[in-house]
Amino acid sequence: MTAKKTEEKKTESRKSYKATGRIDKRKATEMRPMEMSIGFLPNCAGSARVKVGNTIAIAGVYGPKKARPKHEELKDKLLLRCYYDLVSFSVPDRARPGPSRRSTELGMVIKSALERSIFTEFYPRSMVEVFIEVVQADAGSRCASIIAASLALADAGIEMRDLMPAVACGKIDDLVCVDLTKAEEDYHEGEGPTDIPIAYLPNQDEITLLQLDGKISKEELAQAIKMGIVACKEIHKQMKQTIRSKYEKR
């Protein structure tokens, strides 16, 4: 996509936003439609596919198994590894194939968030690997990845404190919103876009991931966190129903 076309797209987004409040006419607290499924990859211990609007993330879990290499094993808990990949055709501007600095960083961010949800002490000297592929990206890819990874871990039978929902909040001008699209992220004037990914453990009432890109006031950040927690609780209900549906069919 050329710089001229990108700027034209941003201009169209600004016009739409000014006319409707949000580009896709959702309420500030309204999430995009979400689809979830589990157990469709036969060669994994557990797998999940999550679609949030136009963003699609697929996760596969391998393990528990012996930690490799041997010198990295943890004597008293599980070694968790998370690999995140944004595939080349998932974005309008073709992404460079293979691991990147950003994908490595996001893998570490997802790992750090997920570890709190797992009873890692139940799996000493063992390893679990989580592979995440984002095959279509329209903002919120790391949050969709966390949801998919959490469902895949549950599908693999890993003992967990709770399923982990996640959502990205942000600000369009002075409007704080949940679950922004790429077009909404691109709409900004002055200080630029704001992105606030939040992951949450409902039964622990604990935020396990909170990041902030952009500028926002203290009051607006507090509002965004509250909105994110409410949204996460709704996502959590759908995650539980997805797990339940698999075993009801059996």
Token pair, residue 224, equals: 């965004």
Indicate yes or no: pTM above 0.75: yes
**Percentage of residues in the chain with pLDDT exceeding 70?**
84
Residue 151: how many other CB atoms lie within 10 Å: 27
What pLDDT, in 10s, does the model give residues 47-82? 999 999 999 999 999 999 999 888 899 999 999 999
- DSSP string for 64-75: EEE-SSGGG--S
Domain boundaries, the chain: 17-249
Q: In the CATH scheme, what is the homologous superfamily, with its name and number, of domain 17-249?
A: GHMP Kinase, N-terminal domain (3.30.230.70)
Asked if 183 contacts 23 with a C-beta cutoff of 8 angstroms, the reply is yes
Specify the pLDDT at position 13: 47
Q: Say if residue 107 is exposed, middle or buried (CB neighbours under 10 Å; 0-12, 13-18, 19+).
A: buried
DSSP β-ladder status, 79-86 and 126-136:
parallel
Highest mean pLDDT among 3-17, 73-87, 192-206, 229-243: 229-243
Per-residue pLDDT at 189 exceeds 60:
no
Tell me the percentage of the chain whose pLDDT exceeds 90.
Answer: 65
pLDDT value of position 16 = 45
Confidence check: pLDDT of 126 > 70: yes
Q: For residue 5, what pLDDT is reported? A: 54
Q: What is the pLDDT of residue 15?
A: 45
